[in-house]
Amino acid sequence: MAWKRVVKRTRPSVEVGWETFGVDGLNYIKTNYEDTGKRTSLSVNSSDDGLVLTYTSVFSSEATKNEFANDSTISTEAARRNQINADNDITKEVTVDEEF
């Protein structure tokens, strides 16, 4: 069964920039997870006021979601991104993490 994970990031104002994965990290994800069918989709939506970004990832299975979450290359890049966002008072909330 497929697995869905939804993460909301909220910033204090539109003057605060979002930190995202760098190009190398995005290319790694494309090659190892998207091109292989392990992550089948990613959508990013912004709230009307621009303060909330909602990321919805769909993985082919719980196992591939766990592989993604435990991948050291992704974890390192995520930690870098998350620290910069936290330093800028951007919060992260996982709202969905389930089979569907």
Q: What is the pLDDT of residues 15-37, one digit of tens each?
A: 999 999 999 999 999 999 999 99
**pTM (2 d.p.):** 0.93
Tell me what percent of the residues of the chain surpass a pLDDT of 90.
100
- Kindly give the interhelix angle for 72-87 and 62-70, rounded to the nearest 10 degrees: 70
Bridge-based pairing of strands 39-46 and 3-10 is: unpaired
Angle at CA 99, nearest 5°, toward 65 and 61? 40
pLDDT at 98: 98
pLDDT at 13: 98
Sequence-separated (6 or more) residues with CB below 8 Å from residue 22: 77, 80
Q: Which segments in the chain show pLDDT lower than 70?
A: none
Yes or no: say if 65 and 96 are a contact pair by the CB < 8 Å rule: no
